[in-house]
Amino acid sequence: NGDAANPACSGIEGVLEAYHRSLRSVQLYGPTNFAPVVNHVARSAAAVLDGSQYFVLLIITDGVISDMAQTKEAIVNAAKLPMSIIIVGVGQAEFDGK
């Protein structure tokens, strides 16, 4: 949502608001490294294992993942946590997962 101290979005409305706000302020460029953000959200999810919170990480990208091995490892490590990861590729890049 643009607030590093409190990055949560409330519901779909909050996600859409954050997305529209980011369109006006985010400059997309490479490399496209996902492992750091997956690990960051995983640390937050690991801190709340009592079932009171569930985390959804939505990544919208226009580039192929540059750190594929590290991203796969981060996703596997996060699989046991109360979180989902959604990656949406936009644009002309090839997103075939190679």
Instruction: Read off the pLDDT of residues 35-84 as tens digits, 9 standing for 90 and up.
Output: 999 999 999 999 999 999 999 898 888 878 889 999 999 999 999 999 99
- Say what the pTM is: 0.81
Q: Which amino acid is at 60?
A: I
Give me the pLDDT at residue 97, please.
Answer: 58
The total number of residues shown for the chain amounts to 98
Give me the pLDDT at residue 92, please.
Answer: 78
